[in-house]
Amino acid sequence: MKQQYIGKLLPIEGYTVVYEGDISSTYFHSLTHLYQPLIGIQAIALYQTLLNESLWSSDWDNPQTHHVLMTYLSLPLDQIYEARLKLEAIGLLDTYQQESEQNKVYVYKLYAPCTPTEFFSNDMLTQLLYHELGSDKCDKLYQAFKLHYPRQHILGDKVSASFREVFTSYSSEEDVSVAKPNTAPNDGPNVDIEAVDYNLMSQMLEQRMLPVEQILSPVNKKLIAQMYALYNLTNQDIEKALLWALSDENSLITDEFKSACLDLYQTRRKQQPNEKVLDRKTSIDGNESKAKKPVTKEEQFIEMLEKISPRQLLEDLSGGNYASTQDLKIVSEVMSQQNLTPGVMNVLIHYVLLKTDMKLTKSYLEKIASHWARKNVTTVRQAMTLAKSEHNKYQQWGTSKQSYYKKPTKKEVIPDWFKDRKQTKQPVKQEKEKQSTSSDVDIDELMKKLRDS
């Protein structure tokens, strides 16, 4: 159990429950099939227990203690507190605190869960559910739920936890685009809209002579705040995503914005696992430097592939032009289906583009990506090493379809970093020096191209 929750509540402290509205079977369907995958069974059990207690006329003068709640749920108080935080963060509960003569008293105000229609109108809830269940199961739930139900004291200071305080961000397996209704009476997760610096964002838009009120509409602000909390982005990240997702009429394309936020998150997240691997490695081998800097051209190239996003790599390799929507869609699908890190995806893009005359061939990309996923490739260096060792196999995959090459007789094009693989029984020194020099020059030129663009 998480130590930080111990002592946040005391068994002797009292509580009362407030719920205004009618109970519908639709709510229970939503709780078990839509909310439970997000917040867990303990939070759902706490909600249902409090909901049932609200049906009894609560005695405000003699509130129950949390010890009673521990008995009902057969849970320790720290787990009850954690479940309460999840209910607050997801928008099912508000907590108010009052000081009595003896102890603190908490007022738990319950909110009806979103109906399925309301749930799927909320971009943030939909993103969360897709992450937990996957697209197939989510689509089945969406088709199964076709119902619509609307949702409906000064109780003290509100002390509810926000979504960002409770949940850690994650990488969604795919960006979500679902046809959904527009009305959502339930506000959904408890997101602080004002956490985003809209003043700074407005200044940025004004400097570019873009319509601030149109772009930062109330609906768009809510979406921005949700993505800001969901992916733990910075204000600078949000500004970049906004600019990427504007149409020719300066309207915010919501699906493009969500995709851009996911792309930014994945680009930033990839550095954390690398740091952990480095820490483990240096703890075993004390002779290696903790912050080893790249020395060779190949090491510098690896570092560059680890730092840039697949979108940026595509744009840089095309001379700074925007990456095509089709290429981005192919990369997004392959990356999410095979769960590849951005750095590994960059190696794959670079390898396939050079093998297919700078054309991103989806079938070839998918086949190699699937192989790398089975081999559990997670770093740029692993991807490059495997590409070298499995080159003959990949060459057979490529030549099995003529579309992979312009002319069968044309000299094979391979990435420059590939050229230093071990050659069997070839002239040793001159050939290696020649390849090393050529590889360094070509990598140097490509790195310069990436920097300049």
Residue type, 214: Q
pLDDT-wise least confident of 97-111, 140-154, 285-299: 285-299
Task: Quote the CA–CA distance of 309 and 386 in Å, as a whole number.
Answer: 21
CA distance readout (Å), 339 to 174, 326, 374: 10, 19, 11
Task: Quote the CA–CA distance of 172 and 132 in Å, as a whole number.
Answer: 9
Two structure tokens written together for 153 = 């004291």
Residue type, 177: S
Check pLDDT > 70 for residue 2: no
Better-predicted residue by pLDDT, 265 or 416: 265
pTM beyond 0.75, yes or no:
no
pLDDT-wise least confident of 204-208, 366-370, 404-408: 404-408
Q: Cβ(66)–Cβ(15) under 8 Å?
A: yes
Q: Cβ(2)–Cβ(82) under 8 Å?
A: yes
Query: What average pLDDT does this structure show over 423-445?
Result: 49
User: CA-based angle 103:108:109, to the nearest 5?
Assistant: 145
Query: What average pLDDT does this structure show over 166-190?
Result: 54
Q: At 44, is the pLDDT very low, low, confident or very high (cuts 50, 70, 90)?
A: very high
Task: Quote the CA–CA distance of 312 and 450 in Å, as a whole number.
Answer: 9
User: Nearest-CA neighbor of 382 among 274, 286, 300?
Assistant: 274
User: Nearest-CA neighbor of 403 among 452, 365, 347?
Assistant: 365
CA distance readout (Å), 345 to 307, 338, 387: 12, 10, 12
The whole-number pLDDT of residue 58 equals: 59
| pLDDT digit string, tens, across residues 47-67 | 999 988 887 755 667 788 888
Share of the chain above pLDDT 90, in %: 10
For residue 421, give the H/E element and its range. Answer: none
Task: Give Cα 438 to chain centroid, integer Å.
Answer: 39
The whole-number pLDDT of residue 403 equals: 45
User: Nearest-CA neighbor of 159 among 109, 215, 222?
Assistant: 109
Length of the chain: 453
Q: Cβ(109)–Cβ(120) under 8 Å?
A: no
The whole-number pLDDT of residue 99 equals: 80
* DSSP for 59-79, written as a single string: -TTSPEEHHHHHHHHT--HHH
Q: Cβ(101)–Cβ(162) under 8 Å?
A: no
User: Nearest-CA neighbor of 97 among 112, 84, 79?
Assistant: 84
**Can you tell me whether residue 42 is helix, strand or coil?**
helix
User: CA-based angle 93:155:77, to the nearest 5?
Assistant: 50
DSSP 4: G
* DSSP for 233-255, written as a single string: --HHHHHHHHHHTB-TTS-B-HH
Give me the sheet containing 93-99, strands edge to edge.
64-65, 14-19, 104-110, 93-99, 157-158
DSSP 187: -
CA distance readout (Å), 335 to 86, 175, 259, 368: 30, 11, 13, 12
* DSSP for 357-368, written as a single string: TT---HHHHHHH
Handedness of CA 301, 303, 304, 308 (dihedral sign): positive
In this structure, the strands spanning 104-110 and 14-19 are: parallel
Domain boundaries, the chain: 3-166, 193-268, 294-452
Q: Cβ(424)–Cβ(388) under 8 Å?
A: no
Q: Cβ(115)–Cβ(149) under 8 Å?
A: yes
| pLDDT digit string, tens, across residues 240-264 | 888 888 888 888 998 888 888 888 8
